[in-house]
């Protein structure tokens, strides 16, 4: 059997009856309409990004745009926050896997962000099954039977509010061609989810609003026109996860003012973007990634300005990710890790953040207690904390070079985490527990670009008394030694069956590339695309 597709659409992904319920002809018509309307805008935006990067490579620094000064200084506000999502003090994030969705919605968090992006490996199976899972979650019918544990999972009566994060503009969907070109991943994820779920979501979860999204940048007016719903019903929180975007936060909110419910500190991607933006600036080498936290001046400045901007415009200022995983076999280490989480979240809530992210349900009670103790019965801090002191932050504050040292262990950890994450991603897993942290594509990107930066400028590892320079020869030796360590940690059988050698080849190549690739996953994506020509059917699960 083949999918029933409209003119101009070709599906190269495996046929499956469940997937056919998502990839209906009408849904594909809607997605194709989005693609045709916005593809030239997307191509133009991507070219503008390349031109901006060339300017940074030639010595220009990011700055506030004089042409939009009037927007930054204006007294406008965004549309009022919908009552259904006024309280977002703790949000949990995770991939669109069936068991994960149930556990996250039942976790006690205020919001679950179902992730098609950094926490998901975008295989055809993962993406389409994710759409099936979200449809069932919105309908309230989602369930899961864990055969290994002989346990059934279903939704509680009270659940978190559902937000969905689509892929970024840069990621294509090679399994679906529209007019001969790969679909834009972002438009496909948004279009299929919105088409199948907007009506039920507004009735059961949104109190007349929604669906709700976490998005980089997305134009929603056409979707609302199609559905015949009020302008401003669809709302999105924008992740500020690139260095240039921190200079455009007012402008982003202004453009989305009928659709925005805030900004989020996507701090791991933000660190990745700092290296990427300053890839041609040898005077801006980062210390070990574990030292680049929110107490670094450029990170604190970014967070403070985001809070001031959001509250001035009447929307949520969301904090960053707590990536720790409960350490079940070491009570003392677990308590120490939890104390670090609580300290970080206390800093966020006292600074004025209205909510924050957690990667694991086990963190939610402790984080919720921190926010409850500080916020009391108030749903958020939009009106109570204005952070006018942050109005004095300068361009120099936002790009100040982080302080710290570089070590051999930092190089080893980058290499070990990068290879292990990529190996999991190639086999279909995008959210990976490593060394008591939940790693996703953002932390893998930091590992990759930091290695690249240190190699390009032969950075000196000066923090552990070695005082050696990072050269291709040293890096090659580190890769060999870390591969041996990975094999020892995971076991020979798992190592041989996994994609560790393929991941190592890709990761090493990107670290040694003369020119920094934009994204680790763009090259790796070619390794997970499996084309099924029309007529080759299979309905195996």
CA-to-CA distance for 63 and 32, rounded, in angstroms? 37
Residue that the structure tokens 């527990």 belong to: 433
Instruction: Give the DSSP H/E element, type plus range, for residue 473.
Output: helix 472-490
- Vertex 106 angle, CA 103 and 107, to 5°: 80
List 165's β-bridge partners, or say none: 115, 214
CA-to-CA distance for 114 and 214, rounded, in angstroms? 9
Q: How far is CA 345 from CA 46, 258, 341, 342, 443, in A?
A: 35, 30, 6, 5, 20
What single DSSP character describes residue 174?
A: E
Quick one: which of 317, 301, 309 has its CA closest to 393?
301
Per-residue DSSP letters for 287-318? --GGG--TTSHHHHHHHHHHHHHHHHTTSEEE
Task: Decide: 209 and 162 in contact? Cβ < 8 Å.
Answer: no
Mark whether 347 is an active-site residue: no
- φ, ψ of residue 161 to 5 degrees: the values are -75, 140
Quick one: how many helices (H) and strands (E) in the chain?
19, 17
- φ, ψ of residue 240 to 5 degrees: the values are -90, 95
- φ, ψ of residue 287 to 5 degrees: the values are -75, -175
**The CA-based dihedral angle spanning residues 128, 364, 267, 503, taken in that order and rounded to the nearest 10 degrees:** -50
Rg, Å, the chain Cα set = 23
Name the catalytic one among 98, 135, 165, 416.
165
Q: Look at residue 64 and give its three-state secondary structure.
A: coil
Name the catalytic one among 118, 189, 288, 440.
440
- Vertex 117 angle, CA 113 and 118, to 5°: 95
CA-to-CA distance for 355 and 353, rounded, in angstroms? 6
CA-to-CA distance for 171 and 519, rounded, in angstroms? 9
Task: Decide: 247 and 398 in contact? Cβ < 8 Å.
Answer: yes
Mark whether 344 is an active-site residue: no
Active-site amino acid positions = 165, 440
């Amino acid at each position: 059997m083949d999918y029933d597709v409209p003119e101009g659409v070709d599906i190269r992904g495996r046929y499956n009856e469940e997937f056919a319920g998502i990839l209906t002809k009408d849904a594909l018509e809607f997605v194709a309409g989005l693609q045709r309307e916005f593809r030239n805008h997307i191509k133009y935006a991507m070219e503008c990004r390349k031109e901006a990067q060339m300017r940074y490579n030639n010595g220009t620094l990011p700055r506030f745009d004089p042409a939009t000064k009037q927007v930054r200084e204006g007294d406008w506000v965004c549309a009022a926050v919908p009552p259904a999502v006024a309280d977002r003090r703790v949000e949990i994030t995770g991939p669109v896997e069936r068991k994960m969705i149930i556990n996250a919605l039942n976790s006690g968090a205020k919001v679950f962000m179902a992730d098609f992006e950094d926490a998901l490996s975008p295989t055809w199976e993962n993406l389409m099954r994710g759409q099936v899972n979200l449809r069932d979650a919105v309908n309230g019918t989602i369930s899961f039977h864990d055969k290994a544990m002989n346990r059934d999972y279903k939704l509680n009566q009270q659940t978190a509010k559902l937000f969905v994060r689509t892929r970024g503009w840069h990621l294509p969907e090679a399994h679906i061609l529209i007019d001969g070109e790969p679909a834009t991943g972002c438009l496909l994820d948004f279009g299929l989810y919105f088409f199948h779920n907007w009506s039920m979501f507004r009735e059961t979860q949104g109190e007349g609003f929604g669906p709700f999204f976490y998005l980089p940048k997305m134009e929603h007016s056409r979707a609302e026109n199609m559905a015949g719903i009020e302008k401003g019903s669809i709302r999105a929180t924008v992740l500020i996860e690139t260095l240039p975007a921190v200079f455009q936060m007012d402008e982003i909110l202004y453009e989305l003012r009928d659709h925005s419910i805030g900004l989020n500190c996507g701090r791991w991607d933000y660190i990745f973007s700092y290296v990427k933006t300053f890839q041609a600036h040898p005077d801006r080498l980062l210390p070990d990634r574990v030292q680049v936290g929110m107490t670094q001046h450029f990170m604190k400045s970014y967070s403070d300005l985001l809070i001031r901007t959001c509250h001035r415009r009447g929307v949520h200022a969301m904090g960053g990710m707590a990536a720790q995983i409960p350490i079940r076999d070491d009570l003392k280490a677990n308590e120490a890790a939890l104390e670090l989480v609580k300290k970080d979240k206390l800093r966020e809530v006292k600074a004025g953040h209205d909510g924050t992210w957690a990667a694991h349900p086990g963190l939610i009670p402790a984080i919720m207690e921190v926010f409850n103790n500080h916020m009391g019965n108030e749903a958020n801090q939009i009106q109570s904390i204005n952070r006018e002191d942050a109005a004095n932050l300068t361009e120099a504050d936002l790009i100040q070079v982080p302080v710290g040292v570089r070590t051999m262990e930092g190089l080893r950890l980058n290499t070990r985490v990068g290879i292990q994450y990529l190996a999991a991603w190639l086999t279909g897993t995008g959210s990976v527990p490593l060394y008591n942290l939940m790693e996703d594509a953002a932390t893998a990107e930091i590992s990759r670009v930091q290695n690249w930066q240190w190699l390009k400028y032969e950075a000196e590892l000066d923090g552990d008394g070695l005082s050696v320079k990072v050269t291709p020869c040293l890096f090659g030796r580190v890769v060999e030694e870390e591969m041996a360590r990975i094999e020892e940690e995971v076991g020979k059988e798992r190592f041989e069956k996994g994609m560790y050698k393929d991941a190592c080849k890709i990761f090493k190549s990107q670290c040694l590339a003369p020119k920094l690739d934009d994204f680790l996953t763009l090259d790796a994506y070619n390794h997970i695309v499996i084309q099924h020509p029309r007529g080759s059917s299979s309905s195996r699960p």
